[in-house]
Amino acid sequence: MAANVTPQGCGPNVDSLYYNLCDLSAAWGIVLEAFAAAGVVFSLVLLISLLASMPFMKGTQYKSAVPLHAFFLVSTAGLFCLTFAFIVQKDFSTCASRRFLFGVLFGGCFACLLMQCVRLNILARRDSGPRAWVLFLGALGLWLVEVIINTEWLIITVVRHPLGPLNSTAGNGRETATPCNIANKDFVMALIYVMVLILAVVVASPFIMGGKHKRGKIEGACIFLASVLSVGIWVAWIVMYVYGNGVHGGPKWDDPTLAIALVANAWVFLIVCTIPEICCLIGDDESQQDYREDLYPNRGVGYETILKEQSSQNMFMENKAFSMDEPNHGSKPVSPYSGYTGQMRSSVYQPTELAIITKGVGNHPVDAYDMTIPRASLNSAANSGSSTPSTCADTNGNSGHGPHRTSQW
């Protein structure tokens, strides 16, 4: 009769397998369900943003990390989806997916983080990281090891040598299905390879911060922080799952413990590791930015710097060299119109008579170049015998055309 009672918040047509998703008395299921659904949506949004921003990424060394980030986001989204298998009650399919996917998905995440550490360490020492396919194949190889381990373990314990019910008094319900007949310690022991990957990431990530690239240091710090937080989460859920639940909560706390560990670790991956790394990938490349700054400096500052660097002797030598190339024409004539600036007469400085007399009286050295071209006149043109015809008319001369008139230019 108690089994037929529908919990508050669930409809009458809801199967008892999914009561934890809607039972208001079991608030942990509803809370974890909300966080897991939000994590799935957020992971997909980040994945789409990462793929859409590939044409705008600067530098091939950063584009090579895109497959790793994509694989990492897919594994993280899988962790959020696996949380629902721990929220619902146990049956053959949910227990099999728990045992197989828990280690496989975590193995994919930490394999990607380990290859990221390898890439950043090489990039910090050589200024050029491995190719994208090399990194992806490395992460895929590390991940396939965990897939093989879990597949073999699942086949041995479920197909070839199925275990009997751990509780001899249990009935033949869903919770006594063969994949669910596993002790908590055996579940933890099957994850030893994942723990080795976590330890490798914790050891390899601090060496990234010893490089010379600022962006690499930021990514290394994010990976190190995410791995340290993951270690704390794993230690907490293992201690609670193996020892704490048997002493205090009993088996009913096993599923909430594993579900909380999944959601917490997945959100750590997104917030601490994925978002900063994607921001670093989309940002401007450091090397190209420095190159642009060197190629297009401030024009005013550069001109002043050049003038300061050149000494007066060098400038004299350069001017002398140019002057040696010019032909020597003797005294350089000065045009009377050379002082004309196009300004109005009122704005041009006009010396007074006293200033002219004072300048003439003073002892000034005569410059060989200060020779003024005389103004052209008709008389001078006529007397010089040039080919230019004269426009003046003299009544006393040969022309005899009217009174004497002299016009000057």
Helices (H), 162-253: 184-189, 192-204, 214-239
Q: Which residue has the higher pLDDT, 185 or 319?
A: 185
> 64 and 129 in contact (C-beta within 8 Å)?
yes
| Mean pLDDT value across residues 219-228 | 92
Instruction: Specify which residues 91 forms β-bridges with.
Output: none
pLDDT of residue 343: 52
pLDDT tens digits, one per residue of 181-201 = 888 898 999 999 999 999 999
pLDDT of residue 245: 79
Please report which confidence band the pLDDT of residue 342 belongs to, taking 50, 70 and 90 as the band edges.
low
Compute the distance between CA of residue 81 and CA of residue 234 in angstroms, rounded to an integer. Answer: 19
Q: Which residue has the higher pLDDT, 184 or 341?
A: 184
Compute the distance between CA of residue 59 and CA of residue 388 in angstroms, rounded to an integer. Answer: 73
CATH architecture of 16-285: Up-down Bundle (1.20)
| Angle at the Cα of 369 from the Cα atoms of 365 and 371, rounded to 5 degrees | 95
| Mean pLDDT value across residues 260-278 | 92
Q: Is the pLDDT of residue 321 over 80?
A: no
| Mean pLDDT value across residues 153-170 | 65
pLDDT tens digits, one per residue of 43-84 = 999 999 988 888 877 767 777 888 899 999 999 999 999 999
N-term to C-term CA, the chain: 129
Q: What percent of the chain has pLDDT over 70?
A: 61
Q: Is the pLDDT of residue 341 over 70?
A: no
Domain ranges of the chain: 16-285
Q: Is the pLDDT of residue 229 over 90?
A: yes
pLDDT of residue 28: 87
pLDDT of residue 258: 94
pLDDT tens digits, one per residue of 274-303 = 988 888 776 654 444 443 333 344 444 444
Compute the distance between CA of residue 256 and CA of residue 267 in angstroms, rounded to an integer. Answer: 16
Q: From its phi and psi, is residue 151 left (phi > 0), alpha (psi between -120 and 50) or beta?
A: alpha
| Mean pLDDT value across residues 348-358 | 64
> 399 and 393 in contact (C-beta within 8 Å)?
yes
Instruction: Give the mean pLDDT of the chain.
Output: 74
Instruction: Specify which residues 333 forms β-bridges with.
Output: 371
pLDDT of residue 374: 52
b/e per residue 371-406 (b: at least 16 CB within 10 A): eeeeeeebeebeeeeeeeeeebebeeeeeeeeeeee
Of 70-84, 180-194, 331-345, 364-378, least confident by mean pLDDT is 364-378
Please report which confidence band the pLDDT of residue 384 belongs to, taking 50, 70 and 90 as the band edges.
very low
pLDDT of residue 100: 93
| Angle at the Cα of 190 from the Cα atoms of 186 and 195, rounded to 5 degrees | 125
| Mean pLDDT value across residues 11-19 | 82
- Phi, psi angles (nearest 5°) of residue 139: -65, -40
Q: Is the pLDDT of residue 354 over 60?
A: yes
Please report which confidence band the pLDDT of residue 137 belongs to, taking 50, 70 and 90 as the band edges.
very high
DSSP state of 389: P
Q: Is the pLDDT of residue 170 over 70?
A: no
pLDDT of residue 92: 86
Of 160-169, 200-209, 355-364, least confident by mean pLDDT is 160-169
